[in-house]
């Protein structure tokens, strides 16, 4: 008798939940995704009004990673799309991805996960008891799953700082979570607190309509150098009509936007499994609780990458589903803790101590780390001997996600072509006025690539690479 596929609960249908569903299907698992809204896309799905507990981009938000670096590894973003996409294009891509792999039929929309806890026989079965609620009817349901993938991200409860005197300030005070666009701020003097991506976006947008003060944002330097944005030190205290900075300067302002991030957590998860304290959580590879008797629960996408989160979430999902399937074994609990402590120590050396710098990762290093465990890390040395032209593309044109589909389990036949044509997709939206000498340039580029290839091969032969 054929054994039934293991059932996996996927919590959230955003940038991390979608590849989680896809990876479950790739490994022959049965995913059921619970999404509390009526749509996919998570924080990238723009809504005109703020909803508590649900993050959302600003109306003007443009992703700060190029489309070739942020796509899922077996589904390139259409060449017609801009290289740096507005949030509406990001959601369009998610829908294309979900439709192409028929993922939506595995999603239960408007269904909220209320509680996740170990089953009564967890030590032997590794199963999880999950209570969900239909957001239309209010009816609850208790379900049993073999594994759980938490894909809710790290944008949850608003982090609102408590500066002295802020309660006496008579102007408008909002968190960037509630800031949608510039309307209502015209000709106002606004202070933006925070220098992260949201703070930079809000500062630049408001500088065009506000009188304004206060960061990855290409337009920010231009706004600073033109005087539209002033960079100030931390706030010492508020007054009824303005703020006093730590350098003693004062400004009268009409509004404050706190772009001070979020306090992430998993309120539905039993605290005996894991608990977030001051935005710090101990997870092996930022995924696995290290003390579970069975490694059947993971967190996907709860990271702050220097790079795009989408391919990393996909890579984490590929690893977890291999673990659930039984194809990959994790190290002992003590080895997991050793890795956790090592990462925490290295992060403390590299970043200032803050709630933001608890889940920071470097894109290529972390992608390789996860792919090595799952068995699909590309071997560029072998590739140079087998397919030097492809190897050259991989070496010279950046570590795009397609490289992680070249080898190992669930490799993709289209990966090579996707890599060979990635610059075509970059150039396509820019070719609005062809000049007629593209073919001549292509010949020159080919000669240059051939020359570099000869040099690279020479290094390999002499053992210098």
End-to-end CA distance of the chain: 52
Phi, psi (degrees; rounded to nearest 5) at 304:
-120, 90
- At 31 the pLDDT is 98
Q: What is the dihedral of CA 210, 216, 221, 226, to 10 degrees?
A: -10
Other C-beta atoms lying within 10 Å of the C-beta of residue 123: 11
- At 128 the pLDDT is 98
Going by pLDDT thresholds of 50, 70 and 90, the confidence category of residue 216 is: very low
Going by pLDDT thresholds of 50, 70 and 90, the confidence category of residue 35 is: very high
Q: Quote the mean pLDDT of the chain.
A: 83
pLDDT digits (tens, 9 = 90+) for 9-26: 999 999 999 999 999 999
pLDDT digits (tens, 9 = 90+) for 39-65: 999 888 877 776 666 777 777 788 888
pLDDT digits (tens, 9 = 90+) for 250-287: 888 888 877 766 677 788 999 899 887 766 789 999 99
Nearest Cα to 45, choosing from 111, 90, 106? 90
pLDDT digits (tens, 9 = 90+) for 337-359: 999 999 887 877 666 555 555 67
Contacts of 170 (CB under 8 A, 6+ apart): 240, 241
At residue 133, does pLDDT exceed 70?
yes
Going by pLDDT thresholds of 50, 70 and 90, the confidence category of residue 209 is: very low
Nearest Cα to 406, choosing from 421, 422, 388, 390? 390
What fold, for 160-258?
FAD/NAD(P)-binding domain (3.50.50)
Given a contact cutoff of 8 angstroms between Cβ atoms, the answer to whether 352 and 294 are in contact is no
Phi, psi (degrees; rounded to nearest 5) at 398:
85, 155
- At 213 the pLDDT is 39
What fold, for 7-156+263-374?
FAD/NAD(P)-binding domain (3.50.50)
Cα of 149 vs its chain's centroid, Å = 15
Three-state DSSP state, 202:
helix
- At 200 the pLDDT is 52
Encoded tokens for 174: 């909002």
Encoded tokens for 408: 């190992």
Give dist(CA 317, CA 331) in Å, integer: 18
Exposure b/e, 383-393, CB count within 10 A at least 16 = b: bbeeeeebbbb
Largest CA distance in the chain: 77
- At 198 the pLDDT is 61
Nearest Cα to 176, choosing from 262, 248, 237? 262
| Strand ranges in 151-296 using DSSP code E only, listed in sequence order | 157-158, 172-175, 190-193, 235-238, 242-245, 250-252, 255-258, 262-263
Three-state DSSP state, 7:
strand
Q: What is the dihedral of CA 345, 349, 354, 359, to 10 degrees?
A: -50
At residue 7, does pLDDT exceed 70?
yes
Contacts of 438 (CB under 8 A, 6+ apart): none
pLDDT digits (tens, 9 = 90+) for 448-458: 666 666 666 66
Q: Give percent of the chain above pLDDT 70.
A: 76
- At 64 the pLDDT is 82
At residue 247, does pLDDT exceed 50?
yes
At residue 182, does pLDDT exceed 70?
no
User: Quick check: pTM over 0.85?
Assistant: no
- At 208 the pLDDT is 47
pLDDT digits (tens, 9 = 90+) for 217-240: 445 556 566 565 667 777 888 888
Higher pLDDT, 264 or 414: 414
Give dist(CA 96, CA 90) in Å, integer: 10
Q: How many helices (H) and strands (E) does the chain have?
A: 14, 18
- At 462 the pLDDT is 57
Given a contact cutoff of 8 angstroms between Cβ atoms, the answer to whether 382 and 390 are in contact is no
Give dist(CA 168, CA 162) in Å, integer: 12
Three-state DSSP state, 54:
strand
Task: State the average pLDDT over residues 351-368.
Answer: 74
- At 425 the pLDDT is 96
Q: Which helix (H) or strand (E) holds 412?
A: none
Hey, where are the domains in the chain? 7-156+263-374, 160-258, 380-461
At residue 398, does pLDDT exceed 80?
yes
Task: State the average pLDDT over residues 310-322.
Answer: 97
Lowest mean pLDDT among 23-32, 72-81, 356-365: 356-365
Phi, psi (degrees; rounded to nearest 5) at 152:
-95, 0
Residues facing residue 33 across a β-bridge: 10, 107
């Amino acid at each position: 008798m054929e054994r039934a596929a293991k059932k996996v609960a996927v919590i959230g249908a955003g940038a991390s939940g979608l590849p989680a569903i896809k990876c479950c299907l790739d490994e022959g698992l049965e995913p059921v995704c619970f999404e509390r809204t009526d749509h996919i896309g998570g924080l990238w799905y723009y809504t005109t009004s703020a909803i508590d507990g649900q993050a959302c981009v600003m109306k003007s938000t443009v992703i700060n990673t190029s489309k070739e670096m942020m796509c899922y590894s077996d589904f390139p973003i259409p060449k017609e799309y801009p290289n740096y996409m507005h949030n509406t294009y990001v959601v369009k891509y998610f829908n294309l991805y979900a439709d192409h792999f028929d993922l939506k039929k595995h999603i239960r929309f408007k269904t909220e996960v209320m509680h996740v806890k170990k089953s009564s026989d967890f030590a032997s079965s590794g199963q999880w008891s999950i209570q969900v609620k239909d957001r239309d009817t209010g009816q609850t349901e208790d379900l049993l799953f073999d594994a759980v993938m938490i894909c809710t991200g790290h944008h949850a409860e608003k982090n609102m700082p408590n500066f002295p005197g802020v309660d006496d300030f008579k102007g408008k005070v909002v968190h960037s979570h509630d800031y949608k666009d510039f309307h209502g701020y015209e000709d106002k003097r606004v202070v933006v607190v925070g220098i992260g991506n949201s703070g930079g976006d809000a500062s630049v947008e408001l500088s065009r309509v506000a009188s304004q003060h206060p960061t990855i944002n290409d337009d920010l330097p231009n706004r600073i150098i033109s005087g539209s944005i002033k960079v100030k030190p931390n706030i010492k205290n508020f007054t009824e009509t303005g703020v006093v900075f730590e350098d003693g300067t004062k400004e009268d302002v009409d509004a404050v936007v706190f772009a001070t991030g979020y306090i992430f957590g998993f309120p539905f998860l039993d605290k005996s499994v894991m608990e977030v304290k001051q935005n710090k959580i101990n997870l092996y590879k930022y995924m696995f609780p290290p003390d579970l008797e069975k490694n059947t629960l993971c967190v996907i996408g709860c990271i702050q990458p220097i790079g795009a989160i989408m391919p990393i979430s996909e890579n984490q999902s590929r690893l977890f589903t291999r673990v659930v399937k039984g194809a990959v074994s994790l190290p002992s609990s003590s080895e997991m803790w050793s890795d956790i402590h090592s990462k925490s120590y290295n992060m403390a050396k590299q970043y200032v101590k803050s709630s933001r710098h608890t889940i920071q990762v470097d894109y290529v290093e972390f992608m390789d780390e996860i792919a090595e465990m799952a068995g699909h890390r590309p071997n560029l040395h072998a590739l140079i001997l087998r397919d030097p032209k492809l190897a050259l593309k991989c070496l010279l044109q950046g570590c795009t996600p397609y490289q992680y589909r070249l080898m190992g389990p669930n490799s993709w036949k289209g990966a090579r072509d996707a890599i060979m044509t990635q610059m075509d997709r970059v150039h396509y939206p820019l070719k609005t006025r062809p000049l007629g000498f593209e073919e001549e340039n292509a010949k020159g580029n080919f000669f240059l690539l051939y020359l570099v290839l000869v040099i690279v091969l020479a290094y390999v032969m002499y053992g210098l690479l």
